[in-house]
Structure 1
Amino acid sequence: MANFTVWALFMFGVLLPTLGDKHSLYYIYTALSKPLSLPGIHEFTAMGLLDDREIDYFNSQNQTKVPMQDWMKEKMQADYWVKGTDSRRSKQQWFKVNVDILMERMRHNKSDLHVLQWRHGCEVEDTGGVKFLKGMDLYSYDGEDFLSFDSSRSQWVAPVPAAEATKKKWDDVPILNQYTKGYLEKECVDWLTRFMDFGKESLRKHSKPDVYAFAKKSVSDSSKLTLTCLATGFYPKDVMMSVRKYGTSLPANMLMSSGVRPNDDDTYQMRKSVEILENEQADYDCYVTHSSLREPVISKWDGKCNDCSEEKVQSVVIAGVVVILVTLVLFGVVVLKHRPTFCEFSTSLFCSCCS
């Protein structure tokens, strides 16, 4: 009975303001096997992310570690940036050597582009005191996991055969694994706590989500609608969203979810969608809970389809055009002019660092 009471209080938002906030500190390094003549794309980049906000940055062109938040610039001493720059330059050389080693080991052509990435850091929960949740030390090659550290066993994990040699080499140096475990569980947490304290006004702000429910024609089935729940503008990023029918949450296997994604103003958004019959008259709503709210936000769907009327207008116009064309053809006054259609394709390099 006690467990049910806690669950009920949580669902109705009573406990939300007292829930602990999760925070993370990650460093992401990305090295390309060769330079590219594309704006903003560098042969080597490194960045620090505190709660997904960029706090420092380095690239192979500028060769300097710089602050990306005003409070980082104000709080960190000059020697922090000098030492950080030296460290980034050293890692740049390490990556340059090792991306060549991996290409050779994989028997990859050096004329092709290849990407080596490293992500390491930690996550904590702040409930008045900082509690370590998990650490991550992960290498990837061409977007696929290559080598990761298992803190519980203090060993490296090789998901692909090509990583076995590196795993064996690193596991044969116990002090290296001890340092890695210590960094993830202690040193990283210390830095995270310090940064949280420096940027607490910015990091601990809470922004309430705006919640919308709307429907459009399904792209896969003309007899159905895609009903979407959108929550946007919230911070921090932990959020719970349900798509409900007559007040009952639909199961996850019926829904399509975007996951939590960043907006361009340091807030987040999330979408969940479900396919429903076009003529369905059921009551649907979006139910959202968040640490910024004292009670859940419920946004009801108004039963309308946003683009259905437009589709009907287009159908009438098309039908009218067809009638006119047929009439003109019968009288032999139609001249068809064939013009080629040109499609422009643009490609962009996206270096995904998140695992």
Structure 2
Amino acid sequence: MNVKMNGFISLVLGIGLLHTASAATHSLKYFYTAVSGDIDYPEFTAVGLVDNGQFMYFDSSTKTAVPKTEWMKREGADYWDSQTQGLIGEHQTFKVNIQTLKDRFNQSKSTGVHVVQRMYGCEWDDDSGATEGFDQYGYDGEDFIAFDLKTTKWIAPAPQAVITKLKWDSNTANNEHRKNYYTQECIDWLKKYMDYGKSTLMRTVRPSVSLFQKTSSSPVTCHATGFYPSDVMVSWQKDGQDHHEDVEYGETLPNDDGTFQKSIHLTMTPEDRKNNKYQCVVQVKGIKDDFIRVLPDQDATNVVPIIGGVVALLLVVVAVVVCVVIWKKRSKKGFVPTSTSDTDSDNSGRAAPQI
């Protein structure tokens, strides 16, 4: 299927995507996105995240890997040159992969937009020492193939991925090397980056919470912004009890200052609003206080601000988009089936093979 642009722009950090870190869990993730078709977007982009905060960026237009935080500038020219050369190679591999998949899905003559994505990385619990690794691919918004760290084999949820699974599973040495990267090398790089950016990555920032409503019949939006870290719970309560009916949950998105924002939308009748007490509760990991905004009665003056600025805010968010993520959100456990040399950077062990 062709990917529609209006359902296509989503930030990597909505990334509750596939893994949600706990307070003691830290993560290193990379997102590669290759696009074909008539679209005003680089053919290939790569984004690196530590604890869901962007620390590096590369695209096929600039052909240069660059740091996105002050603390990553500690790495010297050799590191960034190695990253750049590795990602230039990844771009070429992904160009081949996207054509291969178009052929497999009988889309070789399609003029629409098609997308191949890869998300890989590792997690480390600094309390228990437990580690986790992941490596998975998506095509046009659907899961395509994923690496199972326990079996050291690939899982193919799509029929078109079976040929890739058989090909990659036959290279047992590469799969073992890949497992070693995710369980050891990736964790070492994560710890190194955590040490570089500890003053930033270990901080907490309290959120600002507001309630918005366009008209009296529109859903009420609870918007939390400016918080850090990204691990947040935003919920509605009705008369002191958690309320999930007619609630739409938004994604956790990045602000351009390194903090995050998240919205949750509640639809209710005017009668329900008048006869019950609704409040929005925001809880940020690492901060003991709950942040609560009570929804006033509909008849109160200045009940909920009506702001066209919400639209402007979303445009600002899109302006700081670091990548397009079009995967359906699901847990790693829901991924159900129907090699390079070492360098001075963390490129080793995780290069993408041809599909």
TM-score range normalised by the length of the shorter chain: 0.7 to 0.9
User: Match for residue 202 of structure 2?
Assistant: 204
User: Match for residue 298 of structure 1?
Assistant: 292
Could you say what the CA RMSD is over the residues aligned between the two structures, in angstroms?
3.0
Of stretches 162-171 and 45-54 in structure 1, the one that deviates more from structure 2 is 45-54
Q: Does structure 1 residue 52 correspond to structure 2 residue 52?
A: yes
How many Å apart are 1:183 and its aligned residue?
1.7
Give the 3 Å change call, closer, same or farther, for CA 212–98 of structure 1 in structure 2.
closer
TM-score normalized by the length of structure 1:
0.72
User: Match for residue 272 of structure 1?
Assistant: 264
- Residues 159-179 of structure 1, C-alpha deviations (whole Å, 9 max, x = no match): 111110010111112112212
Distance in structure 1 (CA, Å) of the matches to 2:248 and 2:64: 42
Distance in structure 2 (CA, Å) of the matches to 1:92 and 1:61: 11
User: Match for residue 121 of structure 1?
Assistant: 121
Give the 3 Å change call, closer, same or farther, for CA 249–32 of structure 1 in structure 2.
closer
Give the 3 Å change call, closer, same or farther, for CA 160–304 of structure 1 in structure 2.
same
The letter for the 2-side match of 1:296 is D
Question: Is contact 1:217–1:307 with CA below 8 Å preserved after alignment?
Answer: no
Distance in structure 1 (CA, Å) of the matches to 2:324 and 2:287: 35
User: Match for residue 345 of structure 2?
Assistant: none
The letter for the 1-side match of 2:70 is D
The structure where helix makes up a greater share of residues is: 1
Q: Which has the higher contact order (CA 8 A, sep 6+)?
A: 2
Structure 1 segment 59-208 matched on structure 2, within 5 A: 59-73=59-73, 75-110=74-109, 112=111, 113-127=113-127, 130-132=129-131, 134-208=132-206
How many Å apart are 1:243 and its aligned residue?
1.6
- Residues 282-336 of structure 1, C-alpha deviations (whole Å, 9 max, x = no match): 222222222353332222222136899999xxxxxxxxxxxxxxxxxxxxxxxxx
Larger of the two Rg values belongs to structure: 1
User: Match for residue 23 of structure 1?
Assistant: 26
Distance in structure 2 (CA, Å) of the matches to 1:63 and 1:183: 25
Distance in structure 2 (CA, Å) of the matches to 1:163 and 1:198: 39
How many Å apart are 1:105 and its aligned residue?
2.2
How many Å apart are 1:58 and its aligned residue?
2.0
Question: Is contact 1:208–1:233 with CA below 8 Å preserved after alignment?
Answer: yes
Distance in structure 2 (CA, Å) of the matches to 1:283 and 1:273: 16
Distance in structure 1 (CA, Å) of the matches to 2:162 and 2:114: 20
User: Match for residue 280 of structure 2?
Assistant: 286
Distance in structure 2 (CA, Å) of the matches to 1:114 and 1:309: 41
Aligned residue pairs: how many?
289
Question: Is contact 2:99–2:108 with CA below 8 Å preserved after alignment?
Answer: no
Distance in structure 2 (CA, Å) of the matches to 1:308 and 1:83: 55
Give the 3 Å change call, closer, same or farther, for CA 45–293 of structure 1 in structure 2.
closer
Distance in structure 2 (CA, Å) of the matches to 1:197 and 1:353: 32
Give the 3 Å change call, closer, same or farther, for CA 285–176 of structure 1 in structure 2.
same
The percent identity for this pair of structures is 38
Give structure 2 stretches of 5+ with no counterpart: 1-21, 307-318, 330-355
Structure 1 segment 332-351 matched on structure 2, within 5 A: 351=324
